Amino acid sequence: METRHKILILDDDQDWLELSREMLKQLPSKPEIRTANSGSRALAMLDTEPYRLLICDLKMPRIDGLQVLAIVRRRFPELRTVVLSGLEDEEFRSRSYALGVDLFWLKSEMQRNTQMFLDCLESLIGRDSEGGFRGIQSKSLMDIIQMECLSRSSTVLRITRGPLVAKLWIHDGELIDAETEGARGEAAFRRILGWKSGTFENLPAEQNHERTIHKPVNALLLESAQAIDENADTDTTEQTVQIHRKTVWKLAVLTREGADFVVAVLPDGTMESLGTQTQNAEHCAKWMRRAEEIVKRISTKIEAGPLLHIGASNMERRLLLLPRENKSFLIGWSPEQADNSTLEKSKKIAASWDS
Amino acid sequence: MGLLKKIFGANAAIQQLPSGSVTVDSSGEVITSTVSSEFPKSLLREIARDVLELFREARADQMPLAELTLQFASLRVSARELRGGAVIFLFPQSALSATSKGTNL
């Protein structure tokens, strides 16, 4: 059944509320229209039921519109917001956008261009729950980052999603660092890209900020886009989504490095495999377990030190066995892909496996 | 004085890592060897048998191998399968050895 979205209009002018209500009835999606004449009343209404859109005046007694928007940003990050104000000062427009509103319209403009205003509102409420980042017309975070990088700008993007705050440092169009929830670098960037909605603002660039991300931003975005696509199915449980995300991430790493497959064996003997030609994974895992036993025996006999890796090859394949404390990896390469950097690439795959 | 002898015994000795090549038949018997005669032959034979076992296990697991490299912290063992037997190369590694790059596969 199609659900009707709810719109809340907040203004201290009762006549304006009635006028707006009549006007919004013209919206093609026929949303439910509610009104509130004070900030506290609006916040109470937002608490009681989910709204799609808040249309907010700025100049109001007690709690003004900017204060309401600041609270809304933290408490209802999914809620789309529009400022409809009579204040023609540009400062209010920029302060509103800094708070992450989707649209800023002057009441006078709205009356002159009613149809355009309604089209904008319809577009906002019609945009489904894929989310988006407020600040530039609900673009996705990927779009925003790409725009910053393509314009070769230097900036710090501060992204807020409810209580979570993240920062992305962009220098001359290159993503150099990311930080959120105690994570830094690529790990933080991946986590941030997982956010479906929020708000962002541009802070001044920080010169001489330490670089922790060396991979091109497009490669990172591609990996994350694959992971997000996989997560689009909202019917799956969170756990399944996590597994999917992990699997896609692992496949992305595997593909990027050019390996054919990975077989990982845990100390308890269980195994997992990924990639092409994994039909033989059980056999590979068995050989890995035996090989480690045999090699340990050799090492003990001649006191050659710990095993660093085992390389193996035949006409069809190159294999690299990397023993790790909690897991051993067998990484398969085609002869064409295997070269002097294979060991380093394999180590990278193993290192990123559980990250 | 003599503290180390008291701890490790008078006969404690440092064994040199093997260096050279060994050819073994399918039963693990050494056919030719360029490894120093100071290195115990029995130990060399055991290494050879372990390497052959690695090839055999791989074959049994449907992944026959032509070459193997075991990279230890202080020794690199490279082996090429030869009709059930193998030719094995032993390279002691030092801090200056290129262990992490090059033809490790």
Q: Crossing angle for the helix pair A342-352 and A238-257, nearest 10 degrees?
A: 170
Give A177 or A281, the one with higher predicted confidence: A177
Give, as one character, the DSSP assignment of residue B96: T
Distance from CA of B86 to the nearest CA of A (A): 14
pLDDT range class, residue A227, cuts 50, 70, 90: low
- Alpha-carbon distance of A346 to A198, in angstroms, equals 37
Q: Which residue on chain B is closest to A302 by alpha carbon?
A: B17
Q: Residues A201-225: what's their mean pLDDT?
A: 81
- Alpha-carbon distance of A322 to A102, in angstroms, equals 50
Residues of chain A above pLDDT 90, percent: 11
Contact A80, A52 (CB under 8 A): yes
pLDDT at A127 over 90: no
Mind listing the pLDDT tens digit for each residue in A42-52? 888 888 888 88
A284 vs B43, B63, B71: nearest CB: B63
Contact A112, A134 (CB under 8 A): no
Among A126-140, A142-156, A161-175, which stretch is predicted with the lowest mean pLDDT?
A126-140
Per residue of chain B (105 residues), give pLDDT as tens: 566 566 655 555 567 788 999 999 998 899 999 999 888 999 999 999 999 999 999 999 888 999 999 999 889 999 999 988 999 999 998 655 554 444 445
Q: Residues A165-186: what's their mean pLDDT?
A: 85
CB atoms within 10 A of CB A230: 18
Predicted ipTM of the assembly = 0.82
Place of tokens 């082996």: B79
User: A150-161 burial, b for 16+ CB within 10 Å, e for fewer?
Assistant: eeeebbbbebbb
Computed over every residue of chain A, the mean pLDDT equals: 81
pLDDT at A2 over 60: no
pLDDT range class, residue A232, cuts 50, 70, 90: low
Give the DSSP H or E segment for B6. helix B3-8
Give A182 or B3, the one with higher predicted confidence: A182
| pTM of the full structure | 0.47
Interchain contact, B70 vs A298, CB within 8 Å? yes
Mind listing the pLDDT tens digit for each residue in A276-297? 766 678 888 889 999 999 998 8
Q: Residues A32-48: what's their mean pLDDT?
A: 88
Length of chain A, in residues: 355
- Alpha-carbon distance of A3 to A310, in angstroms, equals 59
pLDDT at A27 over 60: yes
Mind listing the pLDDT tens digit for each residue in A56-94? 998 888 778 888 888 887 778 778 889 988 887 777 887
Give A291 or A232, the one with higher predicted confidence: A291
pLDDT range class, residue A228, cuts 50, 70, 90: low
pLDDT of residue A55: 93
Q: Residues A17-34: what's their mean pLDDT?
A: 88
A280 vs B18, B62, B100: nearest CB: B62
Q: Report the Cα B98 to chain-centroid distance in Å.
A: 18
- Alpha-carbon distance of B96 to A186, in angstroms, equals 33
According to the per-residue pLDDT averaged within each range, which of A57-61, A238-242, A321-325, B79-83 is highest? B79-83
In this complex, how many residue pairs, one in chain A and one in chain B, have their CB atoms less than 8 Å apart?
A: 108
**Cross-strand bridge partners of residue B32:** B23
pLDDT of residue B55: 94
pLDDT of residue A319: 92
Task: Please list every residue in chain B whose beta carbon sits closer than 8 Å to the beta carbon of residue A310.
Answer: 68-71
Give yes or no for B98 touching A (CB within 8 A).
Answer: no
Q: Residues A320-346: what's their mean pLDDT?
A: 86
Tokens standing for A154?
Answer: 């230097």
pLDDT of residue B101: 42
Interchain contact, B72 vs A312, CB within 8 Å? no
Q: Is the dihedral of CA B76, A344, A261, A231 positive or negative?
A: positive
Q: Is B98 helix (H, G, I), strand (E, B) or coil?
A: coil
Burial grade of A51 (CB within 10 A; 0-12, 13-18, 19 or more): buried
Q: Which of B8, B63, B93 to mutate to test the interface with A (most CBs of A within 10 A)?
A: B63
pLDDT at A190 over 50: yes
Give A311 or A48, the one with higher predicted confidence: A311
Interchain contact, A298 vs B47, CB within 8 Å? yes
Length of chain B, in residues: 105
Contact A85, A39 (CB under 8 A): no
The pair phi, psi for residue B96, each rounded to 5°, is -90, -10
Contact A350, A331 (CB under 8 A): yes
Give yes or no for B36 touching A (CB within 8 A).
Answer: no
Interchain contact, B71 vs A338, CB within 8 Å? no
CA atoms within 13 A on the CB side of A131: 19
pLDDT of residue A250: 76
